[in-house]
Amino acid sequence: MTTQQILEKLVSFPVLGGDSNLEIINWIKQYTESFGIKTFLVYNSDNTKASLHCRIGPAINGGTILSGHTDVVPVKNQPWYTNPFKLVEKPDGNLYARGSCDMKGFLACCLSALPKMVKANLKKPIYFAFSYDEEIGCLAAEALINHIKATYSETPKFAIIGEATMLQPIIGQKSIHILDITVNGSEGHSSRIKQEVSAIHEAAKIVLWAEEKMNTLVKTSNDARFNPPHTSLHVGTINGGIAANIIANKVTLSLDIRCLPKDNPNILYQDLIHFCRERENTQRAIFSDFKIDVEENHPIVPAFSTNENAEAVNLIGEITGNYNWNTVSYASEAGYFANAGFEAIICGPGSIKQAHRANEFISKDQLHKGAQMIETLVSYLETSA
Ligand SMILES: [Zn+2]
């Protein structure tokens, strides 16, 4: 099958983040095993989803993991001109479908190179590591990586996460933590503001806490490789209140924290919890049930930072011709691979500008170049590894 034919097949499985991905993962499993490769599935607790990994080539240290995810973001309420789960080739040279760019295009590049990998005399192995639920917080990456480490006696060295970067090497990513906060105050007449606890006034203090925290970090912690070069804290939604003359008893807000690799998101989280406990202790003198609930929308997606002189940067340069690295502030599984000890780099075909929107596409040129990157990796591992 050509890369495009495989992509056509992959996009026909409408697996959103959170959905069962068994159909698509079993198709990938059967395809991979048809070339004589043994695959491993890593199931979730109720066996409705699975990640897949496998090794192609010898059991020797220093191999390269090719990482991708099988889920996509929703299409609901987006103005699609075509069926999002059918690959449509248009005269503009682009292939339209949900996931064409993020990131089934990369999966197709890996899978179409498999016959070549199997035939090649690889000096170092290649691994596939394909996950689920990436789009709702990279939920499966850790279990997949642990399973890889437990399965193989040898140790892979590199992890290429094939998110859409126009095949530019990405060597750093901020961590991402999203918190859903509910402030429970006491209702009453506005004139009693000193006798009740307004959830709105308390929520405002949390917003100011976030702003001040960020301002302190802007002054004390910088990394010029990132744009912006500081950790960001941002309240994106705030809801509550009925009328000007009623003290609000409930407010919900959502806080998005993106930390530089050098800043610790756990410490920021603990600081926030500490601030909320302090507010509770203070205000319970007025209203004994005053409460601030802080819920994690998903576990922290870890940051990563690969040294610009690392071998992985050179490897990507060798197989793409592009040594011109950059950094990003969106979520990917790269931080999990870096935390597990692999040299991680994000690099894949297609543009992040096309991801997550209506009429997502990958250009045929990018798909072709992505396939070339993998084929060049195969040749590279036959000769110079
Ligand atoms: Zn993605």
- Ligand 1 centre from 163 Cα, in Å? 5
Q: Do 92 and 224 belong to one domain?
A: no
- Ligand 1 centre from 332 Cα, in Å? 7
The encoded tokens of residue 89 equal 């080739």
- Ligand 1 centre from 336 Cα, in Å? 14
Structure confidence at residue 272 (pLDDT): 98
pLDDT tens per residue, range 256-300: 999 999 999 999 999 999 999 999 999 999 999 999 999 999 999
Whether the predicted pLDDT of 360 surpasses 80: yes
CA distances from 231 to 91, 173, 327, 333 (A): 43, 11, 14, 19
DSSP letters for 144-197: HHHHHHHH-SS---EEEE--SSTT--EEEE-EEEEEEEEEE---EEGGGTTTS-
The amino acid occupying position 7 is L
- Ligand 1 centre from 331 Cα, in Å? 8
Domain end (from 266, 300, 334) = 300
pLDDT tens per residue, range 307-318: 999 999 999 999
Q: Do 130 and 55 belong to one domain?
A: yes
Percent of the residues in the chain that have a pLDDT greater than 90, as a whole number: 97
Structural domain harbouring 284: 175-300
Q: Do 260 and 326 belong to one domain?
A: no
- Ligand 1 centre from 208 Cα, in Å? 33
The encoded tokens of residue 273 equal 């919890």
- Ligand 1 centre from 135 Cα, in Å? 7
Structure confidence at residue 383 (pLDDT): 87
CA 337 centroid distance within chain:
12
pLDDT tens per residue, range 31-74: 999 999 999 999 999 999 999 999 999 999 999 999 999 999 99
Beta bridge partners of residue 189, listed in sequence order: 246
Whether residue 269 contacts residue 255, with contact meaning beta carbons closer than 8 Å, is answered with no
Whether residue 168 contacts residue 347, with contact meaning beta carbons closer than 8 Å, is answered with yes
Q: Do 292 and 325 belong to one domain?
A: no
Q: Do 214 and 146 belong to one domain?
A: no
Q: Where are the alpha helices (DSSP H) in the chain?
A: 3-11, 22-33, 104-112, 114-119, 141-151, 199-220, 265-283, 311-320, 334-339, 364-383
CATH number, domain of 154, equals 3.40.630.10
Report how far residue 338's alpha carbon sits from residue 85's, in angstroms, rounded to the nearest whole number: 33
The encoded tokens of residue 381 equal 């591992």
Percent of the residues in the chain that have a pLDDT greater than 70, as a whole number: 99
Among 178, 226, 176, 172, residue whose Cα is nearest residue 338: 172
Report how far residue 68's alpha carbon sits from residue 64's, in angstroms, rounded to the nearest whole number: 13
Whether residue 385 contacts residue 62, with contact meaning beta carbons closer than 8 Å, is answered with yes
The amino acid occupying position 88 is V
Structure confidence at residue 214 (pLDDT): 98
pLDDT tens per residue, range 226-250: 999 999 999 999 999 999 999 999 9
The DSSP 8-state label assigned to residue 354 in this structure reads G
Q: Do 270 and 152 belong to one domain?
A: no
Q: Do 237 and 165 belong to one domain?
A: no
Among 84, 85, 70, 59, residue whose Cα is nearest residue 31: 70
Whether the predicted pLDDT of 109 surpasses 90: yes
Report how far residue 30's alpha carbon sits from residue 217's, in angstroms, rounded to the nearest whole number: 50
Domain end (from 279, 300, 321) = 300
Domain end (from 300, 324, 346) = 300
- Ligand 1 centre from 350 Cα, in Å? 11
Among 335, 32, 48, residue whose Cα is nearest residue 40: 32
- Ligand 1 centre from 33 Cα, in Å? 25
CATH number, domain of 187, equals 3.30.70.360
Q: Do 155 and 74 belong to one domain?
A: yes
- Ligand 1 centre from 187 Cα, in Å? 44
The encoded tokens of residue 179 equal 């918190």
Work out the mean pLDDT of the chain and round it to a whole number: 96
- Ligand 1 centre from 325 Cα, in Å? 19
Structure confidence at residue 329 (pLDDT): 84
- The contacts of residue 47 (CB under 8 Å, 6+ apart) are none
How many distinct structural domains can be found in the chain? Answer: 2
Whether residue 69 contacts residue 333, with contact meaning beta carbons closer than 8 Å, is answered with yes
Whether the predicted pLDDT of 327 surpasses 80: yes
Q: Do 159 and 84 belong to one domain?
A: yes
CA 293 centroid distance within chain:
26
If you search the block for the tokens 């105050």, which residue do you land on? 185
Whether residue 352 contacts residue 74, with contact meaning beta carbons closer than 8 Å, is answered with no
Q: Where are the alpha helices (DSSP H) in 56-126?
A: 104-112, 114-119
Structure confidence at residue 358 (pLDDT): 96
Q: Do 219 and 342 belong to one domain?
A: no
Whether residue 129 contacts residue 152, with contact meaning beta carbons closer than 8 Å, is answered with no
CA distances from 358 to 12, 80, 194, 217 (A): 16, 5, 49, 36
Q: Do 158 and 188 belong to one domain?
A: no
- Counted residue by residue, the chain has a size of 385
- Ligand 1 centre from 165 Cα, in Å? 10
- Ligand 1 centre from 69 Cα, in Å? 7
Q: Do 46 and 148 belong to one domain?
A: yes
Whether the predicted pLDDT of 385 surpasses 70: no
Report residue 52: phi and psi, to 5°: -125, 140
- Ligand 1 centre from 285 Cα, in Å? 48
